[in-house]
Amino acid sequence: MTSSFSRRDWLRYAGLGLLGASSSGWFPLLADDLAKHAGRSRSVILLWMSGGPSQLDTFDLKPGHKNGGEFKPIDTSVPGIQICEHLPKLSQQMEHLSLIRSMSTKEGDHGRATYLLRTGYLPQGPVKYPTLGSSLSKELGREDAEIPNFVSIAPQRFLSPAAFGPGFLGPKYAPLTVGNAGRGGRPMAGNADQLTVKNLNLPTQVTSTQFDSRLELLDSLETDFQTTHPGLVPQSHRNAYQQAVKMMRSVAVKAFKLDEETAELRDAYGRNNFGQGCLLARRLVERGVPFVEVTLSEAANQGGIGWDTHTGVFPAVTALCRVLDPAWSTLLTDLKSRGLLDSTLVVWMGEFGRTPTINPSAGRDHFPVAWSTVLSGGGIRGGQVVGQTSEDGMTVKEKPVTTADLLATVCQAVGVDHLKQNVSNVGRPIRLADPEAKPLKELLAKS
């Protein structure tokens, strides 16, 4: 066979439909080999609130103050801790939650703030920092995993695309992406599952024998091509197809078959992409996936863009909480009932908070000075509050927490050294979290 193999030839053979190159965002990005890691014992589920949720209308209400707005606080299962009235189910899970009410950052731009919260660093120069899921799945993942070690469900990437990628860690740590961005809280169309991996099933006209023959042809072509064109790109392409085939033939891929769950449980999560995404996250960590993120970027009849509530903050947050509350609370209950909560850290956060003052459009604007995040589940001591904001919500009154502090705490909670270094694309060693970070020891459960 000739060793001269053009791009046109590659496109022609791709057109044979050997596997159907997936648009999931993962298969085409796999790298040339997989790093070998020890077996993992913990997982992370990141509930990403795209747009920046209002802390004053969720976890840090200011009743009686003019900045407090329309919502009332309600008691929780932990005496002395109150949260928003529109999170009633979650309020009964407070013993598993730890509220960080004193996040304080300096970035009020969506793109830069999203990059900061998801990577731990600001975009700067030629260094391409990896997103949190890539960093932690590298540390916690397994080489022989049949499902990718990082799965991203319905990400909303337009605000900061680079904040969702593997950065200098390379394509093998990119996420498998499922679901449609911007459909987080909308009801699912009919009974059709939208949270699936595309192109994993053979075309109906292709038999298994034909499929195997085509794989042999592809392997022969790629072997020949690599002989004369060694390098990362052809090796990545080859491994991408090998991993795709592994998924196609894996029993573990049944994790995406949500119809295996009872109708009652699916109803409890909520029949929308975020609710079903949280159910899928449970099914994935149950099968050993170490990092799953689920994005909530909009709700039915909400108006506006997700949590970016410059106008009509109160009806918007009400609609978003109507999606968030059953999904998050059922996720915690479901994890606990299956013995997974102690080994699964659930992180709730967005890129910043919202202004305490209400603008003329009855909305709240970007506010990174004093806002909230929430940690729950594995590695965390629940039932407590860290930090405090002033009575008007304008400043941090007690224990300011930086992005580096938060991410270092997340690392420590799942048994990863936040001072671990990886070599960047410019040859510079970069730690998982800034070396000045101070993990929140009061939140960390004893190992």
Residue 292 has pLDDT above 80, yes or no: yes
- Return the CATH fold of 40-193+257-431: Alkaline Phosphatase, subunit A (3.40.720)
- Between CA 63 and CA 36 the distance in angstroms is 52
pLDDT band at 23 (very low <50, low <70, confident <90, very high): very low
Residue 194: predicted pLDDT: 75
Give me 327's structure tokens.
């999904």
Average pLDDT value for residue range 358-367: 97
Residue 322: predicted pLDDT: 96
Residue 275: predicted pLDDT: 96
Each residue of 101-152: pLDDT tens digit? 999 999 999 999 999 999 999 998 899 999 999 999 999 999 888 899 999 9
CA 75 to chain centroid, in Å, comes to: 29
Residue 305: predicted pLDDT: 72
Residue 228 has pLDDT above 80, yes or no: no
Each residue of 385-404: pLDDT tens digit? 999 999 999 999 999 999 99
> Is 84 or 25 the better-scoring residue by pLDDT?
84
Q: Which of 332-336, 353-357, 425-429 has the lowest mean pLDDT?
A: 425-429
Exposed, middle or buried by CB within 10 Å (0-12, 13-18, 19+), for 2? Answer: exposed
- Between CA 182 and CA 322 the distance in angstroms is 17
> Is 195 or 68 the better-scoring residue by pLDDT?
68
Residue 329: predicted pLDDT: 98
- The Cβ of residue 338 has, within 10 Å, a number of other Cβ atoms equal to 12
Residue 296 pairs in a beta bridge with 49
Residue 184: predicted pLDDT: 65
Residue 227: predicted pLDDT: 77
Q: What is the pTM of this model?
A: 0.84
Residue 372 has pLDDT above 90, yes or no: yes
Give me 262's structure tokens.
């009872």
Q: Are 205 and 17 in contact (CB under 8 A)?
A: no
Average pLDDT value for residue range 264-272: 97
The domain ranges of the chain are: 1-30+201-255, 40-193+257-431
CA-nearest of 438, 434, 439 to 124 is 434
Exposed, middle or buried by CB within 10 Å (0-12, 13-18, 19+), for 203? Answer: exposed
Average pLDDT value for residue range 330-347: 97
- Between CA 344 and CA 183 the distance in angstroms is 25
Residue 201 has pLDDT above 80, yes or no: no
Average pLDDT value for residue range 49-54: 97
Residue 280: predicted pLDDT: 97
pLDDT band at 31 (very low <50, low <70, confident <90, very high): very low
SS3 436: coil
> Is 357 or 233 the better-scoring residue by pLDDT?
357
List the end-to-end C-alpha distance of the chain, in Å, as a whole number: 58
